[in-house]
Amino acid sequence: MNEGRRARVLRAIVEDYVATNEPVGSKALVERHGLQVSPATIRNDMAALEQQGLIAQPHTSAGRVPTDKGYREFVDRIDDVKPLSAAEKRAIARIIERPVDIDEMLDRTVRLLASLTHQVAVVQYPMATTTAVRHLEFVDLAAHRLLVVLITDSGQVEQRIVDAGSPLDEAGIAALRDAFNDALHQVRLSRVGSALERISVAPELREWASAISEVVVDLARSSRQDRLVMAGTANLARSGRDFGEHIGPLLEAFEEQVVLLKLLTSMVAETGRVSVRIGRENPVESFASTSVVATGYGTDDSEAKLAVLGPTRMDYPTTMAAVRAVARYVSVILSE
């Protein structure tokens, strides 16, 4: 099979299926895309693509639809993300520029992104990347309970009670206090988890150290004030057929911001780079029929992510272009 033609056939199937939401047949491909070969040749190409797991035949239909693997192949072969039109760029600049405050800017941003892509848009509030741990204090409450207090260099204070289920004397508390402060002093909140992987305590204190580490990571996350703003949820209703049985769990997941935050955090999405997760590439089961297109935005001392979520049957070039362009505009505004 001709590899160049195989790529063109796969691209044509993806584009047609995204546009029509109907299985794509060989005759339609020849007519719409000028492939300059017979339908029989295209059928052979489609059989090979199906054997490779890139397309599938739903039910008894003569047409084919892309699989998650097929979408991934398509996205990885996008050489250049389709640029936005001049009108779209002017709309972005007009809507986002000169906001009253950060809340208004992010509200405008998420609504604009949902409008451009016709999907669900999610924007994370920018967080200061320079905020660090100043000190950890441990207060003895009872034989099995300890109050852990996290103080940042920006003056924020977070506290939580830990109960490891075993006795702890004053010497043990002092040893834990010293170990944790040695490991975390002036460590940025975003790096607390990795710093705690190297903490070393006496064997008899390891159970307490593990329990405290888990709490401290949560406190650091709380101090970063992770927040999301979302728009375009109604677009899910128009794509309900694409999500099938996953639509209910997906809506529930949208209500749980923690789930979305973990999903975005798990993606490699640096400023200027667009990252795409397709279907079952997402670690959360309820997102098995969902694609997530994300990137980072912000300045040298603040960072966050913005993303678009929709069905795997998504216009990836347009969505990727919109996500990248909006992130750039927001980053410029934040740096002014």
Task: Quote the pLDDT of residue 322.
Answer: 92
The CA distance from 241 to 28, in Å, is 23
Domain limits, the chain: 3-76, 86-128+226-335, 133-223
More confident residue, 59 or 310: 310
Instruction: Provide the terminal-to-terminal Cα distance of the chain, rounded to the nearest Å.
Output: 54
Domains 3-76 and 86-128+226-335 share a fold: no
Task: Quote the pLDDT of residue 205.
Answer: 92
How many alpha carbons fall within 13 Å on the CB side of residue 80? 3
Q: Domain 86-128+226-335: what homologous superfamily? A: GAF domain (3.30.450.40)
Query: Which residue from 244, 254, 230 is spatially nearest to 307, judged by alpha carbons?
Result: 230
Both tokens assigned to 75: 């996205």
pLDDT of residue 178 exceeding 90: yes
Residue 125: alpha-carbon gap to chain centroid: 14
**pLDDT tier at 93 (50, 70, 90 boundaries)?**
confident
What would the DSSP string read from start to end of 4-56?
HHHHHHHHHHHHHHHHH-S-B-HHHHHHHH---S-HHHHHHHHHHHHHTTSEE
The CA distance from 16 to 22, in Å, is 8
pLDDT of residue 99 exceeding 80: no
Mean pLDDT of the chain: 85
Pick one of 3.40.50.970, 2.60.120.560, 1.10.10.10, 1.10.3210.10 as the CATH number of 3-76. Answer: 1.10.10.10
Dump pLDDT digits (tens) for 185-237.
Answer: 999 887 898 899 889 999 999 999 999 999 999 888 766 656 788 998 888 77
Determine phi and psi for 203, rounding to 5 degrees: -55, -40
**pLDDT tier at 105 (50, 70, 90 boundaries)?**
confident
The CA distance from 255 to 253, in Å, is 5
Task: Quote the pLDDT of residue 270.
Answer: 47
The CA distance from 304 to 129, in Å, is 9
**pLDDT tier at 59 (50, 70, 90 boundaries)?**
confident
Both tokens assigned to 144: 């099995």
The share of the chain scoring above pLDDT 90, in percent, equals 40
Dump pLDDT digits (tens) for 272-310.
Answer: 588 999 999 988 888 888 999 999 887 766 678 899 999
Q: Would the pTM count as exceeding 0.75?
A: no
Task: Quote the pLDDT of residue 252.
Answer: 80
Task: Quote the pLDDT of residue 69.
Answer: 95
Q: CA 321, 327, 333 angle in degrees (round to 5)? A: 140
Look at the domain 133-223 and name its fold: Enolase-like; domain 1 (3.30.390)
Average pLDDT over residues 13-26: 92
Positive or negative, the CA dihedral 194, 254, 235, 281 is: positive
Q: What DSSP element (H or E) covers 233?
A: none
